[in-house]
Homo-oligomer: A and B are copies of this chain.
Amino acid sequence: MNLVKTEEPAVSEAAVSRHRGILETAAQLICSDGYERTSMNAIAEACQLTKAGLYHHIRSKEHLLSEIMHYGMDIFEEQVLSQVSGITDPVERLETTLDKHVQLVTGGRNKEVTVILHEHDTLTGDARAQINARKKNYVRFLEASFAEAIAQGRIRQVEPKVAAFTFLGMVNWIYKWHRADGEFSPQRIAQEMRRILFGGLVDEVSPPSVESGERKQG
């Protein structure tokens, strides 16, 4: 499939970093204007390249989108998934995942790269199947962690799959309403969502005079 790529064996660090810079710049444009409305001309200009120069780095517009998405998944897996998959306790694992995922979508210079993952149904064929497989991997991780927490009696008996998509929905929606200069810091949002999802909203928690040891038996 790699028909047009030029250099293959020893890609220099500078080239990798240059390539990433192009993906990040393109991601910012696509995030603000949408994929369809972002022209290759506009991307070239923002990267201070001629259009021919851009095509030296990027095969096609759809391939660019696919590359941004894989880069987004790389960042996501590096900053979220690989940080938490070793945590033994399933509730702690899920809470930490929530924290780290919220941090990723609210702040940092890679925000746009990960937001592009929401570009719905734009990729086609193999490129789409590959990205969907990587996304599904995260859904399965969440689902398995919820199932484990239920099996250990740590959380209520809910449908792990609905819980996983509830988690994803609340976190993935954040970019629609959160502003960097808004009233809530990323830390605060993560903390509140943790309390909402894991603490539960209904205040039935603290019965007046039961020893904490007894409460586990319920």
A109 interface residue per 8 A CB criterion: no
Tell me whether B217 and A163 are in contact (CB under 8 A): no
Query: Which residues of chain A (157-183) have a CB below 8 Å from chain B?
Result: 158-159, 161-163, 165-166, 168-174, 176-177, 183
- Partner of A155 from the list B122, B202, B210 (CB cut-off 8 Å) is B202
Q: In the assembly, what is the distance between CA of A85 and CA of B114, in Å?
A: 37
A108 interface residue per 8 A CB criterion: no
**Distance (whole angstroms) from the CB of A69 to the closest CB of chain B:** 15
- Partner of A177 from the list B153, B159, B165, B206 (CB cut-off 8 Å) is B165
**Distance (whole angstroms) from the CB of A154 to the closest CB of chain B:** 7
Stretch at the interface among A2-10, A12-20, A57-65, A192-200: A192-200
A204 interface residue per 8 A CB criterion: yes
A86 interface residue per 8 A CB criterion: no
